[in-house]
Structure 1
Amino acid sequence: MSRRRPRPRAVRRTHRGADLHVHTTHSDGSCTPGDVVRAAATVGLSALSITDHDTLSAFAVARPEAQRLGIELIPGIELSASDGTREVHILGHFIDPDDPDLRATADALRHDRQTRLDRMIDRLAECGLRVDSESLRRSYPRAALGRKHLADYLVRTGQVATHRLVFARYLGDDGPAMVPKRGPSVAEAILLIRRAGGVAGLPHPPYDLTMERLASYREAGLAALEVDGPGVDNRRSRRWRAIADRFDLVPIAGTDFHAPDRAGRWVGAIATPTDDLDRLRQRAGHP
C-alpha cells in the first residue's frame, strides 16, 4: 500500500502550541507515528498528542523521533464509549501509556472491533459486496480496522464509486451493513483515563449536545472540551469556549488528523495555545 506523508501547513493561531488530536496508521490514519512527529516539527509545534482510537501502541514508536526533534509527545488516546444509544468518543491526555487497566480496556475494544468488522463484512456480502478480509488486514497491518477501512476497500476495488456513497448506502449509522460498537460508558471511560493519571476531554462536541448531558460528563470527571477543530468556524469556536468557561473545562484544539488529503486538517493546522496546554497539564497533575 502506498503511503502519503502529511503536508505541513501554517498553524491557525500559534506555531508554539500543540495539536492534541492526531491519528496514525495504528488506528485509522494513513501516516505513521514518525511521519506525524516530523510534520509537527516542520510547522514548529512545541507539542503533539497521538490519540489513536482505542490503542496506545503508537506512543512507543513515535517517542524516539519526538525526542530527536525536540517535540513534547503527550501520551494520548481516543476511547470509544457509549451514552445509551449514542456513541461518544473521549480523549485522554497525559495518561500513563503502561497503565494496565487502560491497556486491558483498549485490548478489549480492539478485539470487539475485529468481531464487529467480521459482522459488517458478512452484512456487506448480503448486500452483494465482497470484502477479502485477509487482503484488507494485509493493507492495514497495524490499524484498528473499522468502517473507514471497509469504505477504502470498496472504493479501491471499484465496487462503490465514492466513500460518501459507501456510507450513504451501506455503512452509515442506519445502514444495512452497520454494526454498533460496544464499549464502556462515558463515565467509565472518563474514570479509566483519570485512574491512568490523565485528563479526559470531549472531542468534536455534537451540534445537539445539551447542557444537561455535558453537565453529567463534567460530574463524571470530564476536564476538557475541544473548542476548535476541523469545520469549526470562529463563531462556533467562541461559543464552545464560553461553554468550556461555564463548566470549568479546559479549552483544547486539534486537527483530528487522519490523512494529508483533507484541506485544513494537516498536522498543526489547528493548535491548542500554550496557555491552554499548561492548564491541561495542571489538571492532569503535572508540573
Structure 2
Amino acid sequence: MKFIDLHVHSNASDGTYTPSQVVALAVEKGLSAMALTDHDTISGIPEAQAAAAGLPIEIIPGIEISCVYQGKEIHILGLYVNPDDQEFRAAAEGLRLIRDKRNETMMLRFQEAGMDLTLEEILEKNPGTVITRAHIARLLMEKGYVKTMDQAFRKYLDYGGPYCPPKEEITPEYAMKILANSKASPVLAHPYQYRLGDQKTEELVCYLTSLGLHGLEVYHSSNNQHESGKLKKLALKYGLFSAGGSDFHGDNKPDISIGSGRGGLRITSLLLDDIKEFRREKGL
C-alpha cells in the first residue's frame, strides 16, 4: 500500500524546512506523492520538483490561499496549479503583497505598545519567504514576550484582535477564479477548523461548490475519525473528491509529522487516483 500527503508547507511560507528537505522527508517516509501547498505563494515549487527528480515520488504543485467568508478567514487549497502560468504567478504575488501590508500594520501596533519587534528582524532571518503569523509568533518567543508559539497565537495573534487586524479582504470568488484560470483543483482545507458547526459548514461547502469547488479536505491532522466520516459523506453529497494531508509545518507544528500527522493519519494513493480521474472527467 502506498501513501500520500496533499497538504505540506515549507519555509517558502511558514514551514521550517526548505522544499528540498521536505521532499527528502517525504521520501524517507515512503510517500509516493506530496503536494507542496505554501501560503499564498508557489515560490517553493521549482526547488521541490528539482529535488524530486529521479526519486520515487510525485510532486503536486499547490498553494493554500487565505480568503474571507462571512467575516471569517478560510483557506482554499489549489492542487495542480501551473507554476509557469504568468497570470497565476502575478496573482500569487498580489496575495503576498496583501500579507506584507498586514504584517507592517501588526508590527507597528506592537511597537506602539512598547514591544521591541521589527519586521526587518524577521525578513533578515527568512529571506525570500512569505511572512506569516508563525514567523511573528517565533519572534515574540525569541524576545521573551511569550514562552511558546501557542501562547503567542492566543495572546497576540488572534485574527481581528488588537495586534492582528484582518488582511485586505480576498473573497472566495477571487480565490476560486484564479485557481480555475490556472486549471487547478480548488479544495476547501480543514473545514472543521473554522468552528462553523455542521449546518454552516455545509452551507459553506454548498456555496463554494456553486463557485466551482472540486474537493474537500476530508482527512487532516485535526480531524478525528467521526469528523472525517461526516466530511466524506458531505463530499459525496456535493459531488466533490476527498482530499487529505497532514498540514506539516516542521518545527512550527512539532507534533505533526509529514505523512502521518499526529501519528494516526494514513492517506492511500487510491485517493489520488480518484482525484486524477475527477480531473480527467473535467478535461483537466
Counterpart pick for 2:270 among 241, 262, 275:
275
The one of 187, 198, 208 equivalent to 1:217 is 208
**DSSP 3-state at the match of 1:26:** coil
Q: Which residue of 1 aligns with 2:37?
A: 51
Indicate which of 135, 139, 146 corresponds to 1:149: 135
Equivalent residues of 1:226, 1:252 under 8 A apart: yes
Contact 1:168–1:175 (8 Å) recurs in 2:
no
Distance 1:223 1:101, change over 3 A: same
Answer whether contact 2:62 2:80 (CA < 8 A) is retained.
yes
Q: Are positions 1:207 and 2:202 aligned together?
A: no
Cα distance in 2 between the residues matched to 1:261 and 1:127: 26
Question: Structure 1 stretches of 5 or more lacking a match?
Answer: 1-13
Q: Which residue of 2 aligns with 1:159?
A: 145
Query: What does residue range 1-287 of structure 1 map to in structure 2 within 5 Å?
Result: 16-205=2-191, 206-208=194-196, 209-260=200-251, 262=253, 265-269=256-260, 270-285=265-280
**Distance in 2 (alpha carbons) for counterparts of 1:216 and 1:170:** 32
The whole-number CA distance in structure 1 between the counterparts of 2:204 and 2:217 is 16
Find the counterpart in structure 2 of residue 10 from structure 1: none
Query: CA shift at 1:262, angstroms?
Result: 4.2
Q: Give, in whole Å, the separation in 2 of the partners of 1:116 and 1:284.
A: 35
What SS does the corresponding residue of 1:75 show, helix, strand or coil?
strand
* AA aligned opposite 1:145: I
Q: Secondary structure at the match of 2:75?
A: strand
Give aligned-pair identity as a percent.
33
Does the 8 A contact of 2:78 with 2:185 survive in 1?
Answer: yes
Letter matched to residue 60 of structure 1: P
Q: Matches of 1:79 and 1:261 in 2, distance apart?
A: 19
Q: Structure 1, residues 21-69: CA drift from partner, whole Å, max 9, x if none?
A: 0000000000010111111111111111100011111110111211131
**TM-score, normalization by structure 2:** 0.90
Deviation at 1:20, TM superposition (A): 0.4
Instruction: Determine the C-alpha separation between the residues in 2 that align with 1:120 and 1:58.
Output: 25
Q: Which is bigger in relative contact order (C-alpha 8 A, separation at least 6)?
A: 1
Q: Residue 18 of structure 1 aligns to which amino acid in structure 2?
A: I
In the alignment, the residues of structure 1 paired with residue 42 and residue 97 of structure 2 have an alpha-carbon distance, to the nearest angstrom, of 14
